[in-house]
Amino acid sequence: MNKERFTFVCNEAEEGRDAFVAHPISDEEGRVKSCSLSHVVVETSAGAQRCWDFNEVEEVRREKDEFPYR
């Protein structure tokens, strides 16, 4: 993901809107919980927390009800 899109996704999450990313290397995806300068912290559908480099993720468009957490 490019830096501008990463910033947009992080802003969406920080403003309380759902933002989802996929990590092709691990074949996982999750809802963005927080961001740092170059990493994104996500919660996967299994409830695990992951931290991924923004260069390794892709934005996913999902609705919250499509991505169960329990």
Which pLDDT belongs to residue 61? 74
Q: Residue 32: how many CB atoms within 10 A of its CB?
A: 22
Statement: residue 59 has pLDDT above 50: yes
Model confidence, pTM: 0.80
The residue type of 64 is: K
Distances (CA, A) of 25 to 13, 16, 18, 48: 22, 27, 22, 16
What pLDDT was estimated at residue 45?
84
Q: Domains (ranges, CATH) in the chain?
A: 3-62 (2.30.30)
